[in-house]
Amino acid sequence: MFPQLTRATRALILVNILLFLLEQVAMRPILLHFALWPPGPDSLFRPWQLVTYAFLHEGILHIFFNMFALYMFGPALEQYWGARRFLVYYFVCAIAAGATQLAVEYFTGTGEPTIGASGGIFGILLAFAVLFPRARLLLLLPPIPMPAWLFVTLYGVLELFFGVTGTEASVAHFAHLGGMLGGALVLLYWRLRAGRGGGGGGWRPA
């Protein structure tokens, strides 16, 4: 029922936990330098924040659910791809999520900093649904089993609805969708590359 932790997944979880603990003793300077701030005049934005924001979390529930999802779905992808390709995929999803959130904030005129691994996690969910579409997932509330492809599709539609309607405005819904979009582009690129005989395609273990 519970997967065995693989090397890269374990490292990501440990780094997230360590930085979360560090946040508790030095939250202000960490958020000022490493949260994802929207660009603009006198902005705190720095390019590295497109990566570092994904290792910061707002509270215990925030990090718990993100790391639990990474623990549940990350090992299967890492075993399928190998650690290197898994990490490349994860970070591309996180960066795409951050870039999407910045774009949305620019066009809507908002300016809130963003933190959390959810963008990378949503990319992980998408890849799991693509590679293991018939895997059965059991929801907690309500406890309804469904195939992975349906679960992730419904989750994505729900995030789009929340983002467009402004429901739960404190949550970066478009960052979640950006992580899925980044993941979809990576999977498509790997598939096309494999089809052209580029070697190491996205659909075979690395």
Q: Which of 33, 118, 170, 173 is catalytic?
A: 118
Q: Is 114 helix (H, G, I), strand (E, B) or coil?
A: strand
Determine the Cα–Cα distance for residues 134 and 160; give it in Å rounded to an integer.
23
Q: Which of 62, 170, 173, 176 is catalytic?
A: 176
Q: 33 an active-site residue? A: no
Q: 57 an active-site residue? A: no
How many CB atoms are located within 10 Å of the residue 199 CB?
8
Give residue 25's identity as a one-letter amino acid code. Answer: V
**DSSP assignment string, 123-170:** HHHHHHHHHSTT-EEE-SSS--EEEHHHHHHHHHHHHHHHHHHTTTTT
The residues carrying an active-site annotation are 118, 176
